[in-house]
Structure 1
Amino acid sequence: MLTKEKINEIKTLLEICEKEGNLQLKLNFDMLESRSENRKEDFFHYVDGKLVGFLGSYYFGNKVEFCGMVHPDYRRRGIFSKLLEGGLEEAKKREARTILLNAPTESQSAKEFLKDIPCTLSMVEYQMKWQKTELAEDDSVTVRPSFSDEDLEAEIQLDVQCFGLNEKEARQYKQETKDLNTDLRLIIEAEGKTAGKMRLSEMNGESWIYGFSVFPELQGKGIGRKALSNVVKMQDEKGFSIFLEVESKNAHALRLYESCGFRSYHSQEYYKVTQ
């Protein structure tokens, strides 16, 4: 588990890097603040006791995403290369099959670094923020907390059917994320039956929606739109700014989110490491 002091050091470095580059890095603080003690997932570089380089790794089943930064005054000294070397070595030990390097679309320093890495652009992900808009009331679809073994099994099957994980990976991912203290796992019900799921992460006045999915055989029936509308209204009433992420190639999801009042404001690029 990362100490509060380590988290604050990361946040201080993040603020400097984002301000210098006029960009936003995706460091997933909900995951950073809930790290396991027995896994090496974060890599640090200090100079004279000052944190100047950081790399975080985020595992999702057999896939790992890396995102990191180096203080502007300490770049071009091989610091990030050293951090990434450590991350890749650990990923090899954990037998990760897909390795993605995450960089803000507008980061020129990241693009320069990636020129020397054997990788290819895998996907672009949009961050979207909800703009206040009128959402229809509909109680035919409900959203409730996930609490039972049956709910957990449904979540696992949704990850398998909607996100391409195999069952072993889906179970492992659930085990690794079940104790995130900022998270609320939700089950979507339609006509009294489990239809889908999503996860909310509430931090610092923001509510992020992750893992939003509906069983394939129930898609196209308006269930997702109604569930999303219900959750957005709930979070808005609690005073949260509401965000989510979507891959650019997922045109159906993008249209759904836009129809509910979400607008893109930022994007992240993911590069797949080829070895």
Structure 2
Amino acid sequence: MLTTQQLEGIKQLQQQCEQFDTIELKLNLDMLHERKDDTLDFFVWQENELIAYLALYGFGTSVEVCGMVQPDARRQGHFTRLWQVAQEVIAHKGFQKVLFNAPGVSESAKGWLSGQPCKYSFSEFHMVWSAKELDELTDIALRDATIEDKDFETALDADAFSLSSEDAESYYNERLSRQKERRYIIEVNGSAIGKIRVTRSYGESYLSGFAVLPAYRGKGYGGQALQTIVKTEIPTGNSIKLDVETKNDHALKLYERIGFIQQQRQDYYEVHLNARVEG
């Protein structure tokens, strides 16, 4: 579990980097607050001030890497040293796929990545809902997911997000402990046809894990479910956000019709586990 000092240091460093670079970092602060494994975070402190940080986020056999360095402390090798230590943890935990996550407009991230043995994999748009009149909906219903829905949720995750059955189950089990996350099952005429998750934290309602069974896609049910979720979250006063892969034209158009607008892009780079990092 991260300490109060560590969490405050991460928030302050994030603010410094985002303001200096005009970027948005994907640090998943809600996940950091619920960390139970203290081997996934790596720090460089200078006189009680956090100047460099790297975090690992495990998803089944895959792990995402995100980090930042104080503007005045860059080009001193801090992030490279953190990454060298992090690789030992990655190997020890047996992760098979490693993805670096970096804001698409971050010149400092691009500069560091250009010297590393990694290759571009894909990009996501961060999207936020802008106030728009929504439809009156009657065809679908939402209910809270229960443990009895595990098989349905894991099978749908495996199909929709190209996961192995083992990874889908591991991901499901890991998320059960997230206290700020609410899981919904989408139903039509009493039958489960899809799912979606909502995490409320830090003035945001973040939507994730949205998927519909293949037989029910293209029939408008997904759009109705998203609008229903948006209507549920509007009274909280939170900004309503989600991420979508930039190549997913169908999903992009669906989100835009409902009122979501594109913000910054996040780029993902894959690195081979047996690669040696220079720098």
Q: Shorter-normalised TM-score: what interval? A: over 0.9
1:75-124 per-position Cα deviation (integer Å, ceiling 9, x unaligned): 11110001111222211222222111011111101111011111111111
Query: Where does residue 115 of structure 1 map in the other structure?
Result: 114
Secondary structure of 1:137's aligned partner: coil
What is the correspondence of 1:1-275 to structure 2 with a 5 Å cutoff? 1-37=1-37, 39-147=38-146, 149-274=147-272, 275=275
Q: Aligned partners of 1:94, 1:143: CA distance in 2, in Å?
A: 37
1:167-199 per-position Cα deviation (integer Å, ceiling 9, x unaligned): 111111111121112111111111211111111
Secondary structure of 1:264's aligned partner: strand
Q: Aligned partners of 1:79, 1:24: CA distance in 2, in Å?
A: 21
Secondary structure of 1:6's aligned partner: helix
Q: Which moved more, 1:100-109 or 1:86-95?
A: 86-95
Q: Aligned partners of 1:197, 1:68: CA distance in 2, in Å?
A: 31
Secondary structure of 1:92's aligned partner: helix
Q: Aligned partners of 2:92, 2:79: CA distance in 1, in Å?
A: 20
Q: CA deviation at 1:237?
A: 2.4
Secondary structure of 2:171's aligned partner: helix
Q: CA deviation at 1:238?
A: 2.6
Secondary structure of 1:154's aligned partner: helix
Q: CA deviation at 1:128?
A: 0.5
1:10-59 per-position Cα deviation (integer Å, ceiling 9, x unaligned): 0011111111111111100111011114x511111112332111111111
Secondary structure of 2:200's aligned partner: strand
Q: Aligned partners of 2:152, 2:3: CA distance in 1, in Å?
A: 34
Q: Which moved more, 1:215-224 or 1:112-121?
A: 215-224
Q: Which moved more, 1:86-95 or 1:62-71?
A: 86-95
Secondary structure of 2:253's aligned partner: helix
Q: Which moved more, 1:42-51 or 1:21-30?
A: 42-51
In structure 1, list runs of 5 or more residues that go unmatched.
none
Secondary structure of 1:26's aligned partner: coil
- Identity of aligned pairs, percent? 40
Q: Aligned partners of 1:265, 1:120: CA distance in 2, in Å?
A: 24
In structure 2, list runs of 5 or more residues that go unmatched.
none
Secondary structure of 2:24's aligned partner: coil
Q: Aligned partners of 1:3, 1:199: CA distance in 2, in Å?
A: 27
TM-score using structure 1 length = 0.96
TM-score using structure 2 length = 0.95
Q: Aligned partners of 2:105, 2:246: CA distance in 1, in Å?
A: 16
Q: Aligned partners of 2:180, 2:5: CA distance in 1, in Å?
A: 19
Q: Which amino acid aligns with 1:53?
A: A
1:208-244 per-position Cα deviation (integer Å, ceiling 9, x unaligned): 1011111122211111101000000110123221011
